[in-house]
Amino acid sequence: MRIGTIELGARPLFLAPMEDVSDPPFRLLCKRYGADMVFTEFISSGGLLHESEDAVKKLDIYDEERPVGIQIFGGELEQVREAARIVDRIGPDVIDINFGCPVRKVVCKDAGAGVLRDLKKMRALTEAVVEVATRPVTVKTRLGWDDRSIRILEVARMLEDCGVQALTVHARTRAQMYKGSARWEWLRRLKELGLSIPIIGNGDATTPEKVKQMFEETGVDAVMIGRGAIGNPWIFRDAKLYMETGELPPPPSWEERVRVVAEHLELKCQWLGERKGVLEMRRMYGGYFKGFPGASRLRQLLMHKETKAEVLEILLNFRPDDPEVQVTVPRTLQAVPVVLTARLPRPTRQKALAADKA
């Protein structure tokens, strides 16, 4: 499979753009464990034009995570056009347009999945981005607004005509939000259209078994993994092994999870600063330790810590088999093989802005 000139191999796996999840630290971890392509959190076009700190920060991408796509959303044509110019200068491998976000504050502005109610506007927004972009433009969308307005086959042909070079479809309607089952039969019908662009399937591919099943049942060119990767960057490695051998590897041990969580925390603190990094990391612990004895107790302990050192002390000394005993024999960072030497290089955004000023 390829997007433009980007060669991605057979049956590639993508990390979905997820708000508050798909930031540079997590994308780098997913890349290490086998993600073939990753996407940023979605970025408001209006926020970029107004130089919102949150929106601009999301432009940070790193050469180590390539190929990487920056995803934008918006309902105002000129804002989307100018935001695409900004993103294009940053230098992602693709620019992705979000036509699928179902949340009210987005759709009420005819952005995200809101544009599914107005296909003429969808075409205009897409053509504006394709016009200014010097790299491939891709789209992520849903089946339709609701069951009475599923027009994804028509949408796919229209987007191909606009010059989009790949289409990701979350196989639910906006009305479904994230409930019910994803309707993979529509992904199969999309492939049967014989389009010239790749179709990337998304929705309910939450385990290695389901990833393999989506490929086999629908014939999609790639699978995009969202919720299944939260707290589980290993899913990319495991899914690839399962597709190759039919066997599942053993789940990551407690020690491996601790090492990865410690590195995730370190990278978060480098990217955001220690205080914000520690606070934002709190939402990740539940996914990483789900299913282990004492996971709830560990999460409670970690939620009250405000420095990196305090969090690491808990992590390195906690015993899932005896969660009430927080520290038996004191352990230090030096005594545990935790990878804390990772360093985020200078992001592409800073390089691009520095070049603009020069």
Sequence ranges of the domains in the chain: 2-249, 253-357
Considering the candidates 30, 101, 162, 269, report the single residue annotated as catalytic.
101
- Tell me: is residue 140 an annotated ligand-binding position: yes
**What average pLDDT is seen over the chain?**
91
Residue 332 has pLDDT above 80, yes or no: no
The larger pLDDT score, comparing residue 293 to residue 81, is at 81
pLDDT at site 291: 86
Q: Any catalytic annotation for residue 108?
A: no
pLDDT at site 322: 61
∠ at Cα 229 (314, 346), nearest 5°? Answer: 75
- Tell me: is residue 226 an annotated ligand-binding position: yes
Q: How confident is the model at residue 219 (pLDDT cuts 50, 70, 90)?
A: very high
Residue 98 has pLDDT above 70, yes or no: yes
Q: How confident is the model at residue 328 (pLDDT cuts 50, 70, 90)?
A: very low
Report how far residue 83's alpha carbon sits from residue 65's, in angstroms, rounded to the nearest whole number. Answer: 22
Taking a C-beta distance cutoff of 8 angstroms, is the pair 138, 159 a contact?
no
pLDDT at site 292: 86
pLDDT at site 350: 55
pLDDT at site 321: 72
Residues 6+ apart with CB under 8 A from 236: 13, 15, 30, 33, 34, 35, 36, 225, 229
We find that the CATH architecture of domain 2-249 is Alpha-Beta Barrel (3.20)
- Tell me: is residue 277 an annotated ligand-binding position: no
